[in-house]
A and B are shown apart, each in its own frame.
Chain A
Amino acid sequence: MDLYDKLTILSDAAKYDAACTSSGATSSSKGTGIGSSIDCGICHTFSADGRCVSLLKVLMTNSCIYDCKYCVNRRSNDVKRAAFTPEELAELTMEFYRRNYIEGLFLSSGILKNPDYTCERMIETLRILRYHYRFYGYIHAKAIPGADPILIQKLGILADRMSVNIELPSEQSLSLLAPDKTKTAVLAPMAQIRKGIVENQSDLVRYRNAPRFAPAGQSTQMIIGATPETDYQILNLSSALYQKYKLKRVFFSAYMPVSDNPLLPAPNVKPPLLREHRLYQADWLLRYYHFEAKELLDEENPFFNPYIDPKCTWALRHMDFFPVEVNEAPYETLLRVPGIGVRSAKRILSARKLHSLDYDTLKKIGVVLKRAQFFITCKGKLREGLIVTPLAAFRALSGDDPAFRTMGTKGEQLSLFDAMASSNESEMKLCLFKPTSPTVTTEPTTGF
């Protein structure tokens, strides 16, 4: 089989791994090798599905001794199999990197023979890249659950980032669909990597030239929509993972039907892309906007609203928090306003030191007034001619959510959002404006 066909098979098999990962570590080549991994993400291209491509993402092999039901590479699936040799893959990565096609390599693998053997072939590939080609670009390696801890350690020293897929959002789902994997087998390498990173940090303090263990940290990924967990459960799990394993990112991947196993959604079910998108938005709010999981969802509202994003949902449920005065509100408060992002909030802080801001200036700063106007005052005044009602705000916010327009209208099954889902506007509003605490009252005059 020639390289062309191998690449087709092994990139095709890796593509369902949705993580758009760009570099996160800094290592400068200091004129001795090739490349530098810089810390602002660089997208080298965007695929036809609109995703950022920055790494060559392939499997070492798509042969696998396991039989996870949600996976295209499962043993029982009838597909063409291929494998790269370490030399081949190292050269391919290098030639792609030289032409500025990619920032680096994202390497994962099916289990060939046994976990240790698989891990050794990955190590050999990275070794050739780092030592033979003196490649200083970015490498993300998937730890193989079940491999010897010594091998995981070796892999971590050669890679910038490591990850272990948690695969499914609960233990029950995992044992049902991935009988060869156990929660412990997944979490053990995760704990080891975390330990490796922590020890390494103290080593680095002690010895300046200690080898760096996965300097860009570790991440994980789980499949959304293959199993019945709620958004609330998923979000709680990801917050716990961030804390316990000091993860850099948790990635969500909408399940693409690859099998007609009755335990899984049927092959004609569309992947829940909008749901995946909402989870990312929520994840973003937790990491950069000082939100907590329990503010966004709870037992009674365990799913995100398909029509409006999580931040707007929160705002509409807390109309009593608003309006905030842009000339006085602290940073964290500004961040809660729909239409104001991290960048515009920072710009507001620096611009208002000079003189108080009016609506025109806010627009120039980059605030999306169409959304923000319902939640702010400028010098104590609402925007001229604006009447604030929750209904008007809801219409403005739901009308222009670009995610909903591009994804939701493609016939995605909104019924997934059981608790919220209803195309009936009044029912939706009921859900939305249900007071979250007894003290909150939304205007009774508007009728809901």
Chain B
Amino acid sequence: MVKEFNLLISAVGGQGGLTLSRVIASAAVKIGLKVRVGETLGMSQRGGAVISFVRMGEDVYSPLIPEGETDVLIGMEPIEALRAAKYVGPKTVAIVNTRPIKPVPVNLGLEEYPPIEKVIELLSKLSGKVINFDAYEIAKHAGSTRVVNSVMLGAIVALKVLPIPRETILETLLENVPKGTEKINEAAFKLGEDKIKED
């Protein structure tokens, strides 16, 4: 029986972070887990920072993850992964897409985008394990830059850290993506898995 499992998805609005949280939460309900998903919607489609907390297990009540208690962090963008730092701790497995999306103040020259190495270095100081790769390039190979989220999902599944079987996740993913994009999403999911297996 799962007592407490905390997954955090940190993304830029429009990257499909909310789809990911829905897929994982629905899959968890399918196998009978108690679920709490905490997110603040409203700006999600507009390129702001979006954090979703997906929590599963008997002892879970709060929609927010206690600081430092994340089991898995899916960082869809480097600095967004870093923005979730206070929730990350020694037990965290973090998986980070290294492809940056520059916020407007950075393009304006008002703020600086930190080097990716620095982002990973800082995250590694807090997180038990950090895995990073360019999921955007992999999504391109799958046929669309819009399926970065499915690549990330495949990678997490390949790490075998989720308390949900692979088949349930994949099936739920395909139920939740727009009609007609199932093939591309499945390909992206599998390329994400391969990425972890080959490393």
Binding partners A and B: no
Binding site for A on B (CB under 8 A): none
